[in-house]
Amino acid sequence: MTWTWSDVIAVAGVAIGVVAIVASAIFTRRWGTLRGKLRLEYECTRLLTRDGASDQLKISYRDVEVPDPYVVTIKLTNVGQRDLTSVHFDNGQPLKVDLGCKMYGLLESSGSDATPNARIGAIGSAGVVEFMPSLLKRKKSWEVTALVSGSRSPRIESPLVDIDVVRDELIPEDVHRTRSRVSKGVYALMGALLIIGAALFVVDIVTRPDAPVSPDEIAYCQEDSKRTLSGSVSCVEALRQNEVFVARPLLAWALGVMLAAGPVGGVAAIISFPMRRRAI
């Protein structure tokens, strides 16, 4: 079988698609650095709900009266796709949640996998809860409950490296799951394009006829008497040699499908990259 320029282009289309798959995979794995993400949930409950009740009812902690008492619950959940370890705490510094009020006591400390290493200051000191460096596995959480005086919006002081702490967002794992499905779907489309294009190319080669000139080819050549090449090469021979796609629509489809796989691979890389950068 004699290879023509269209055969070479078809093989090049397959090569481009394969290179696009490999390059996009390397791109997302090498530069799509996974960033961790913790979600902070904060709940504050006032113990004395009526103003007049504070005159007749007092709340104390270890014999120390607590003015304007509140019970605060802080929950940190690892909503990323990897574990939070001690290595992520820069220079071993703790993750601090500043409640903006006075702290009186740590009432409870718990975790879905392990109890957090949390600490607070002395009674009446600034209301800061410190989470010391420790392991928090993915989809697990830490929760602490404290007794404070007054209520403010918490402020986060994070020393975490490549870990974002967020509040009041759509659950990041849901976002990740949606983007991951889209990315996988695009990769699947790219692979399907390559398979379909390669199949069309093989079918075209196998079924390539050595039959006499078809009426369509004759009509094509008769449209313009100047469609001849130098020497003794006729229009029909040139048509066969150059594989004009009017005579071979199957190969035209094959080339178009396979060459489309390259841009699809680029789209997959674009989708994957921000997904891996912003949430894990």
- Residue 132 pLDDT grade (very low, low, confident, very high; cuts 50, 70, 90): very high
231 vs 101, which has greater pLDDT?
101
Residues 209, 248: contact at Cβ < 8 Å? no
Record the tokens describing residue 66, joined without a space: 């607590």
C-alpha distances in Å from residue 178, one per residue of 76, 114, 171, 182, 271 = 23, 29, 11, 6, 11
User: Which has the minimum average pLDDT: 64-73, 106-115, 259-268?
Assistant: 259-268
| CA 137 – CA 130 distance, rounded (Å) | 18
pLDDT value at residue 35: 74
- Residue 150 pLDDT grade (very low, low, confident, very high; cuts 50, 70, 90): confident
221 vs 108, which has greater pLDDT?
108
Mean pLDDT, residues 65-78 taken together: 91
> Is pLDDT at 29 greater than 80 in this prediction?
no
Query: Which is it for strands 163-166 and 36-46: parallel, antiparallel or unpaired?
Result: parallel
- Residue 146 pLDDT grade (very low, low, confident, very high; cuts 50, 70, 90): very high
Domain ranges of the chain: 5-32+174-278, 36-161
**Chain mean position to CA 48:** 45
Query: Shortest CA distance to 211 belongs to which of 251, 247, 245?
Result: 247
> Is pLDDT at 223 greater than 90 in this prediction?
no
pLDDT value at residue 206: 61
Mean pLDDT, residues 221-247 taken together: 51
61 vs 224, which has greater pLDDT?
61
- Reported as a single tens digit per residue, the pLDDT across 182-216 is 666 666 776 676 677 666 666 666 655 554 556 66
Residues 73, 40: contact at Cβ < 8 Å? no
What length is written for the chain? 280
pTM, two decimals, is 0.52
Residues 165, 155: contact at Cβ < 8 Å? no
| CA 280 – CA 122 distance, rounded (Å) | 37
Instruction: Give 151's DSSP letter.
Output: -
pLDDT value at residue 104: 92
Record the tokens describing residue 51, joined without a space: 């103003």
Query: Shortest CA distance to 262 belongs to which of 13, 10, 26?
Result: 13
pLDDT value at residue 278: 37
Strands (E) located in 121-279: 125-131, 141-149, 155-157, 163-166
- 106-118 burial, b if ≥16 CB within 10 A, otherwise e? eeebebeeeebbb
| CA 251 – CA 199 distance, rounded (Å) | 10
Q: 246 by DSSP, 3-state: which?
A: coil
Q: Tell me which fold the domain 36-161 belongs to.
A: Immunoglobulin-like (2.60.40)
